[in-house]
Structure 1
Amino acid sequence: MKAKHLFIYLAILTSVIAGCKKANIDVDPDTGNGTVTGEVSGIWLKGSTQFIKGDIIIPEGKSLTIEEGVTIVMDTVAKPEIIVKGNLYAQGTADFPIKFTVAEEFRTEAKKFGRLWGGILAAPSCEELLLDHTIIEYAGATTSDASTSVKQHLYKAVAGENLPALWFSNVNGKLVVTNSIFRNLQEDCTYIDGGKVIFANNSFYTTGVTGGEAINLKSGCVADVAYNLVYSTNTNALKLSNSGDRTPQAYIVVYNNTMVNTGWRRPTAKGGSIWVEATVRVSVYNNMFANTRFGIKRDTKKPEDDRSVFGNNYYYGFNQVTVDQFQPTKEIIAGTNDIISKTAGDNDPMFINYPLNIPVDNATFNTAWDFHLKPGSPALGKGTTNFTRHYASGLVLNGVTYKSPDPSGYIGAYGTN
């Protein structure tokens, strides 16, 4: 009897080991470095490198934690998708960020708009997703009939769609994206179909070939969006919409963001800075619009919720064409205490290091630029803190509380150094 029990135990153990081997192929148990495909969960160890050779799936009810300094290298032939049915926690630090990327030889000017791997696609069963001090680059591949996302009816579930770098779809789930960078992407950086959401202290640049927003929020989202820098998105910096007929109604608080040169590379009705539509409810305060195409723009056929409020936003244009497009109309929304230039060059925000005469259709970002404000900037002291954000008390993910940052008395994402 004992021999029989031992045989059964060994059979079970062998099965478990085989299952782990399938999920994490050739992972070194000491360094954590590995070649990965299939189902994954557990921990990717600090400082390790993971080579993703095919689509990976975090199963429902399980979690993958990525520790600081991990580099995830995506195969440019397989163009993998990361399917999150459970939970994903990318926990980088300022000194040791996490990076989702491709091999160095593919990071070229010719490939600067990505398309080299899919994206992070979180199914409605994903309860928590965290990206903290995480870099996502060179994503946005186009789906085919063979794509896992299409087969599993995720995102738009059709061939021929350009994937966002991040998709989240659980209206009852929690999503926090903070201190992160989205760059070198084909289209939308993020596309959010619901959830309790914080986007704070992120940068978005060199994105969008023929379309795409930095942050695209739909019905079911209750979100705070603060202290983000968005540079030269193809379409809008933010698209705020209640489309999709999900509950709750989309309610977005947008404050202290800096948007520069957005919208010019898609010269259509929707190319601009912030687009609001379809009964979305918004509160929009303390945002800096520098050389963006249009100010805050509404869809006049499907306008925003009439409880929406706007105020203390700042508009600068280097040339008169830009300035003229800021002026309030039926489409362009003016807020209380806004600072809106009427003549080219008026109200220079006095960035520490950014040439305001750079062509508005420039998509190449210089990481040496500094969008902090010089002492004496007219944007200092012109913000308001007299409004309510959703998550002042925070969202708890994986046992850690992440709070929406306090609003500031200056306008834009950065005050003085």
Structure 2
Amino acid sequence: MKTKNLFVSALLFASLLTGCSKDDGTKVTPEVKPDELSISGEVSGTWKKGSIVTVKGDLFVPAGKTLSIEEGVTVLMDTTVKPEFIVQGNLYVVGTSTSPVKITVPESARIAKNKFGKLWGGILAAKTCSELLLDNVILEYGGATATEASSSVKLGLYKALSGENVPALWFSNVAGKLVVRNTTFRNFNEDCTYLEGGNIIFTNNTFYTTGVSGGEALNFKSGCVADVSYNLIYSTNTNGLKLSNAGDRTPQAHIIAYNNTLLNNGWRRPTIKGGSVWVEQSVYAELYNNLLANCRFGIKRDTKKPEDPRSVFQNTLFYSYTQLGADQFQPNAEVIGGKNDIISKTAGDNDPKFVNYPVTTATDNADFSASWDFHLQAGSPALSKGTTTFTRNHKAGIVLNGKTYSSPEPANYIGAFGTK
């Protein structure tokens, strides 16, 4: 690893103990502990499997350099400094399902009063970042507010404004490649993502407990060509998906979102805007096989700046346990009706029959239980009601760090999870 202001306290003595013996001659096998690093400034190279990395200031992956983070690494952000993670080169963060990478804060700060984070910044990828991969990662407790002293403001990154809440992930290279899969975004102050370009795949991710007074799970702007599939999005403050061609970058934003499950989104926003999926400003959107349960509204458009007329909305299941929610799913000038949709007209219609989730959970609930199971029981109206006849943007895959990542095949059911 190459770092600036790097202080390494690795436990090298372990190797010196190899071959030591007890008084009775029995060999002692020393306990091998993970590397413990305390860092800030420029970083590149590799953070080795199982390392514990304490971040004491803003991090910078320089243009032309790469940082790789291996499985089981825990990155602890200083909650006083509230660092930003700025990527000007390439970043590859690869954990496993049993040993994910965690980008978090010290355990003492993971408490109820910090439920919506704001304790560090986020991952901010500049236009010089050509490849960024997050695979089996947990990101939590970020979204701090930028100030005039913030590196993102000084470098002109994200919105470059003091007072803006930093998203968990910002990506801005229209020619770049971004793949995020098997990753959890939780306990963030506002947007989980803000994406201003790139060839993008988001699949098999989970979003929950995000957004105090605003914020989306996936916020796409012009320049993005993306496939979004098999994601669970629970109780974002505003929309699960915000799809926009704002910014007038080339290419036009083309987002294909399929087989996602969105629940309870939009109810905690103090003003009325969206609540499940929002489309606007000539975005080319294709939505298939998405399950919207207890969201504040159906798929909404900006009637003054609507979506591209080529957009497709198809095979969506809308469920609400309240009559207000069911009423707000009904198609009108703002709420989009699609082909082969299944829409609740009265409270409780078309219960998706989740394996373990009380569908009468309060719509403004932001807390998430790991015991919930959003697979479908036999007899669910979502089973066998999906379509598979569309073409994904990245069916052939995106190559990052020499490996090809493809958008998964669509399923013939609606939502992110079929039967177990």
**TM-score under structure 1 normalisation?**
0.94
Q: For residue 208 of structure 1, what is the aligned residue in structure 2? A: 211
User: How many residue pairs end up in the alignment?
Assistant: 399
The one of 235, 238, 242 equivalent to 2:241 is 238
Q: CA deviation at 1:272?
A: 0.8
The Cα shift of 1:294 comes to 0.6
Q: Which of 93, 98, 102 is matched with 1:95 structurally?
A: 98
User: Cα offset for 1:245?
Assistant: 1.0
**Correspondence for 1:45 among 39, 43, 48:** 48
Q: Distance in 2 between matches of 1:266 and 1:175?
A: 29
Matched, 1:281 2:291: no
SS for the counterpart of 1:149 is helix
1:106-136 superposed Cα distances (whole Å, 9 cap, x missing partner): 0011000000000000000000000000000
Please point out which of 243, 247, 250 is paired with 1:247.
250
Q: CA deviation at 1:27?
A: 5.4
Contact conserved, 2:291 with 2:317, CA < 8 A, in 1?
Answer: yes
Residues of 1 paired with 2:133 and 2:214: CA distance? 26
For residue 270 of structure 1, report the CA deviation from its aligned partner: 1.8
* Residues 234, 271 of structure 1: 8 Å contact kept: no
Deviation at 1:376, TM superposition (A): 1.3
Per-residue CA deviation, residues 123-160 of structure 1 (Å, 9 max, x unaligned), is 00000000000000000000001000001110000100
What displacement does 1:25 show?
2.6
* Counterpart amino acid of residue 250 in structure 1: A
More helix by share: 1
Contact 2:3 2:39 in 1 (8 A): no
Q: How does 1:6-405 map to 2 (within 5 A)?
A: 20=2, 22-26=4-8, 28=10, 31-405=34-408
CA RMSD of aligned residues (A): 1.1
Q: Partner amino acid for 2:403?
A: V
Q: C-alpha displacement at 1:23, in angstroms?
A: 5.0
Structure-1 separation of matches of 2:245 and 2:317 = 25
The TM-score normalised by the length of structure 2 is 0.94
Counterpart of 2:28?
A: none
- Is the 1:25–1:37 Cα contact (8 Å) retained in structure 2? no
- Distance in 2 (alpha carbons) for counterparts of 1:328 and 1:406: 29
Cα separation, partners in 2 of 1:113 and 1:66, compared to 1, 3 Å: same
Counterpart AA for 1:365: F
The separation in 2 between residues aligned to 1:29 and 1:302, in whole angstroms, is 59
**Residue 33 of structure 1 contacts residue 48 of structure 1 at CA under 8 Å; is this kept in 2?**
yes
The runs of 4+ residues in structure 1 deviating greater than 6 Å are none
Percent of aligned positions that are identical: 63
- Counterpart CA distance in 2 for 1:65 and 1:231 is 30
CA distance in 2, matches of 1:22, 1:217: 34
CA shift digits 1:288-343 (9 cap, x unpaired): 00000111000000000000011000000101000000000000001100000111
* Contact 2:274 2:299 (8 Å CA) reproduced: no
String of CA shifts for 1:29-85, please: whole Å, max 9, x gaps: 864420010000000000111000000100000000000010000000000000000
Structure 2 partner of 1:14: none
Give the superposition deviation at 1:268.
2.8
